[in-house]
Amino acid sequence: PRIIPGFMIQGGDPTGTGTGGESIYGGTFKDEFHSRLRFSHRGIVAMANPNEKDANASQFFITLDKCDWLDRKHTIFGKVTGDTLYNVMDMGKLETNEEDRPVEVIPKIVNVEILWNPF
């Protein structure tokens, strides 16, 4: 994972290099945007991409603050809700190296609960 304090936590690369992973569809898939889904607060979960249109694969990120400059550039597909948001904010405070990778503790998401329309 990568952690950039005040911005985001990125994960989803099974190779651990920051450039790997493919979607469950094989290859990449198209961006999906909705006018009501915006990077308006912390806890937004979205697809990471290499700054290319329709290049979504397996990597994702969770915002640690408002990131409105990302609107319509990354597919939003979720939101961290409830007390779990405090865990995300704690992950955002972990010490990182010059490559934005955690120094000691490597955080992992071990389970999720899907809520119908958390927005």
Which residue numbers are catalytic? 2, 7, 10, 49, 61, 70, 74
Q: Is pLDDT at 118 greater than 80 in this prediction?
A: no
Give pLDDT, residue 90: 93
Complete DSSP assignment for the chain: -EEETTTEEEE--TTSSSS----TTSS-B-----TT----STTEEEE--SS-TT-B-S-EEEESS--GGGTTTS-EEEE--TTHHHHHHHHTTS-B-TTS-BSS-----------S---
| pTM as predicted | 0.90
CB burial class (10 A; 0-12, 13-18, 19+) of residue 59? buried
What pLDDT band is residue 82 in, cutting at 50, 70 and 90? Answer: confident
What pLDDT band is residue 96 in, cutting at 50, 70 and 90? Answer: very high
pLDDT digits (tens, 9 = 90+) for 31-50: 999 999 999 999 999 999 98
Q: Which two tokens stand for residue 57?
A: 């694969």
